[in-house]
């Protein structure tokens, strides 16, 4: 039966994106239970939900492409590990301005710093538009690039089978 290659991978990506968004909601809910009181407006909450969904969708597409390029299950599970390190090399724990020059440059130009700054700004009620724009642009680049890469890999696999 003729089925779009994109829909086969897309169903998996959509399911994992929903799981990631729900996980983020649980973490935020637990923070609220433990006493965190954000200063976000209703509009900030809507933008926050959109940004989390958008970046989750993009990162899941990247994970799908990593899984398709991997030669084994072990490789597939280890390729995305670099993504776990990136928030540690960004503004997640310390301000970028306090980092050594080479690390500050890297931290300022990697995708997780504007995302972290956007989430922090939205929850505190002091978001900077430039952070939101950078986050959306990074998500679009990662998502579209990963979608094209995953689709090409999947088509190649299907043609070889």
Q: Each residue of 40-65: pLDDT tens digit? A: 999 999 999 999 999 999 999 999 99
Concatenating the DSSP letter of every residue in the chain gives ----HHHHHHHHHHHHHHHHHHHHHHHHHHHHHTT------HHHHHHHHHHHHHHHHHHHHHHHHHHHH-SSHHHHHHTTHHHHHGGGGTTTTS-GGGS-HHHHHHHHTSTHHHHHHHHHHHHHT---HHHHHHHHHHHHHHHHHHHHHHHHHHHHHHHH-
Query: How many percent of the chain have pLDDT more than 90?
Result: 71
pLDDT at 79: 87
pLDDT at 118: 96
Whether the predicted pLDDT of 110 surpasses 70: yes
More confident residue, 27 or 74: 27
The single residue listed with the structure tokens 């433990």 is: 34
Whether the predicted pLDDT of 130 surpasses 90: yes
Measured distance CA(23)–CA(81) in Å, rounded: 18
pLDDT at 80: 86
Measured distance CA(85)–CA(56) in Å, rounded: 16
Model pTM score: 0.88
Q: Average pLDDT of 33-39? A: 95
Q: Average pLDDT of 24-30? A: 96
pLDDT at 161: 66
Whether the predicted pLDDT of 86 surpasses 80: yes
pLDDT at 22: 97
């Amino acid at each position: 039966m003729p089925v779009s290659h994109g829909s086969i991978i897309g169903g998996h990506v959509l399911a994992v994106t929903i799981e990631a968004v729900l996980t983020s909601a649980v973490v935020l809910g637990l923070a609220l239970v433990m006493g965190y009181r954000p200063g976000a407006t209703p509009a900030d909450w809507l933008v926050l939900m959109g940004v989390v969904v958008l970046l989750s969708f993009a990162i899941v597409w990247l994970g799908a492409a990593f899984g398709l390029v991997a030669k084994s299950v072990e490789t597939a599970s280890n390729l995305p590990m670099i993504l776990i390190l990136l928030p540690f090399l960004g503004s997640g724990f310390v301000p970028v301005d306090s980092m050594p020059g080479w690390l500050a440059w890297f931290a300022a130009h990697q995708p997780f710093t504007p995302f972290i700054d956007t989430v922090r700004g939205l929850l505190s009620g002091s978001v900077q538009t430039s952070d939101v724009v950078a986050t959306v642009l990074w998500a679009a680049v990662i998502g579209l690039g990963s979608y094209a890469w995953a689709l090409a890999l999947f088509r190649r696999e299907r043609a070889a089978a």
